[in-house]
């Protein structure tokens, strides 16, 4: 079945860019999502991309998709303390009902 991998931790300096990486195994994955989870809260949909897109930008967020390498990344520009959270990569095939989550990357911001 589908496997989604993420590194567990990322630490960046405030004001720098954060890049969170994700790899997946199923080449038929059609919908690719990034969710943010703050402590004690549910998941907030940050952005998503379809497999026919290479890049999507929304304010400070940029998503890059490399279908050949099955690699998805989320770049957060000008990282702020409020960006501290766990970021989940999730993917879904076109005919699949459920999405598959990665393990989440805990982003910490240092001054």
Partner 1 sequence: GAVVSQHPSRVICKSGTSVKIECRSLDFQATTMFWYRQFPKQSLMLMATSNEGSKATYEQGVEKDKFLINHASLTLSTLTVTSAHPEDSSFYICSARDGSNQPQHFGDGTRLSIL
Q: Is residue 47 a contact partner of residue 56, using CB atoms and an 8 Å limit? A: yes
The residue (of 4 and 78) whose beta carbon lies closer to partner 1 is 4
Centre a 10 Å sphere on the Cβ of residue 15 and count the other Cβ atoms it contains: 11
Q: Smallest distance, Å, CB 4 to partner 1?
A: 9
Token code pair at residue 54 = 């290479």
Q: Smallest distance, Å, CB 38 to partner 1?
A: 10
Token code pair at residue 51 = 């497999």
Residues that bind partner 1 (CB under 8 A): 31, 33, 35, 40-45, 48, 88, 97-99, 101-104
Q: Smallest distance, Å, CB 65 to partner 1?
A: 15
């Amino acid at each position: 079945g589908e496997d989604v991998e993420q590194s567990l931790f990322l630490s960046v300096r405030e004001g720098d860019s954060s890049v969170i990486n994700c790899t997946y195994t199923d080449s038929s994955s059609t919908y690719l999502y990034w969710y943010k989870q703050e402590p004690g809260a549910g998941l907030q949909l940050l952005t998503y991309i379809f497999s026919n897109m290479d890049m999507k930008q929304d304010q400070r967020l940029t998503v890059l998709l490399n279908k050949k390498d099955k690699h998805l990344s989320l770049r957060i520009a000008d990282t702020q303390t409020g960006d501290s959270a766990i970021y989940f990569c999730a993917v879904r095939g076109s005919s699949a009902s459920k999405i598959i989550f990665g393990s989440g990357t805990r982003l910490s911001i240092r001054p």
